[in-house]
Structure 1
Amino acid sequence: MRELVYTGFMSLDGVVDSPGGGPGETHRSGGWVFKDLEFVPEAWSIKGEELAETSALLFGRRSYESFSGTWPQSQDHADYKDLPKYVLSSTLSEDALVDGWGPTTILRSAEDVAALKQTDGGAIFIHGSAEVARRLADADLIDRYHLLVFPVLLGAGRSIFSDTDRDKRMLRLRDSEAYKNGILKLVYEVG
């Protein structure tokens, strides 16, 4: 069974949206990842570790539309270009898929994601896509969280964690590190 891993930048109060700013921001603090903190290269080493493990990417429609406009031409994301991509969306059409950014498949339901996890292959990483992460976590499909937690309280924005009344889920800390600029790396396994 393939692992489904959510990776993201998160504020201390749980906000994951608009970390880099740009179109589609949902709150006034968009771009918060790159503001007001000293750059510490080792805090970003998790991204290289993730890339070595990534066999495919999963996005929601809005994140796919945002990332597909920049990642295919980005040297920083060149290693992701040819990886298979999956988009969980009930509204995205086949003609909206971007050419030249690896094979892309539209999934229409959490059941489709569950079936994908049963196929052969390595880990599937979710970037961005807060609503998709909540939906898939509520369906018990997320296996791991890779979080870079920033020392900021935003007070508004989307979270990857649902407020649905459900049974408690325990997470197991797999890896952690604190960096001198206040960022925390937290890697948790679910269940």
Structure 2
Amino acid sequence: MRDLVYTGFMSLDGVVDSPGGPQEGHRSGGWVFKDLEFVPEAWSLKGEELADTTALMFGRRSYEAFAPFWPGSEDHAGYKDLPKYVVSSSLSDDALVDDWGPITILRSTEDVAALKETDGGAIFIHGSGELARRLSDAGLIDRYNLLVFPVLLGAGKSLFGRADRDKYMLSLRESQSYGNGILKLVYDVAR
């Protein structure tokens, strides 16, 4: 069975919306890079993840945002040839980019559950807050790798849903705080 890991940037109030820039839709877009001293070690989690990543997963919107840039990005070169999965009921095969390794479209949460049952290593979800919420509500996420930023955004897409469901516990695997206020939090979902 493969682990499904959500990795992302989150505000202290749980918002994952538009960390990279205003073009992503949030009025405070780009909050990851604004008004914060750059501390290189705060970004070490991203490098550490590469060793564990055997495949990537995206929702349609995140795929459409990353696909034009990541295939040629030096920062993401380690991901280039890895298998990628896009969870979408509307994306067509002809919308997939070339030269970015094998890309498979999954049409449902059930398809994701079936993929988890296959052999192989960890699959990492980048961005894709809505997909992560849906998969979390379905009990399919195994770990959260979070960089929590010292900012309150108030509104925006949240990583966690508000559905009335049974609680589940998280087990802290690793944590670190940095001088600029960023927290690294790595949680396993207790099963």
After TM superposition, the score normalised by the length of structure 2 is 0.98
Correspondence 1:156 to 2:155? yes
For residues 67-123 of structure 1, the C-alpha deviation after alignment (integer angstroms, 9 at most, x for no partner) is: 001111111111111110000000000000000011000000111001101111100
1:176 maps to amino acid:
S
Q: Which residue of 1 aligns with 2:117?
A: 118
1:70 maps to amino acid:
F
State the Cα distance separating 1:23 from its structure 2 match: 2.8
Query: Using the alignment, how far apart are the partners of 1:60 and 1:169 within structure 2?
Result: 24
Checking the alignment, whether the CA contact within 8 Å between 2:23 and 2:29 is kept in structure 1 is no
Q: Which residue of 2 aligns with 1:20?
A: 20
Written as runs of structure 1 = structure 2, the 5 A alignment for 1:1-191 is 1-25=1-25, 27-191=26-190
For residues 114-162 of structure 1, the C-alpha deviation after alignment (integer angstroms, 9 at most, x for no partner) is: 1101111100000000000000001100000000000000111111100
1:60 maps to amino acid:
G
RMSD: 0.7
State the Cα distance separating 1:22 from its structure 2 match: 4.7
In structure 1, runs of 5+ residues without a counterpart are none
Residue 64 of structure 1 aligns to a residue whose secondary structure is: helix
Query: Using the alignment, how far apart are the partners of 2:17 and 2:54 within structure 1?
Result: 24
Residue 33 of structure 1 aligns to a residue whose secondary structure is: coil
1:12 maps to amino acid:
L
How many aligned positions are there?
Answer: 190
1:179 maps to amino acid:
Y
Query: Using the alignment, how far apart are the partners of 1:172 and 1:17 within structure 2?
Result: 25
For residues 48-76 of structure 1, the C-alpha deviation after alignment (integer angstroms, 9 at most, x for no partner) is: 11000000000000000000011111111
Off by >3 Å, runs of 4+ in structure 1: none
Query: Using the alignment, how far apart are the partners of 1:82 and 1:105 within structure 2?
Result: 13
Residue 164 of structure 1 aligns to a residue whose secondary structure is: coil
Query: Using the alignment, how far apart are the partners of 1:24 and 1:91 within structure 2?
Result: 20
Residue 79 of structure 1 aligns to a residue whose secondary structure is: helix
Query: Using the alignment, how far apart are the partners of 2:32 and 2:154 within structure 1?
Result: 15
In structure 2, runs of 5+ residues without a counterpart are none
After TM superposition, the score normalised by the length of structure 1 is 0.98
Residue 87 of structure 1 aligns to a residue whose secondary structure is: strand
Q: Alignment identity in percent?
A: 78
Query: Using the alignment, how far apart are the partners of 1:8 and 1:144 within structure 2?
Result: 11
1:123 maps to amino acid:
A
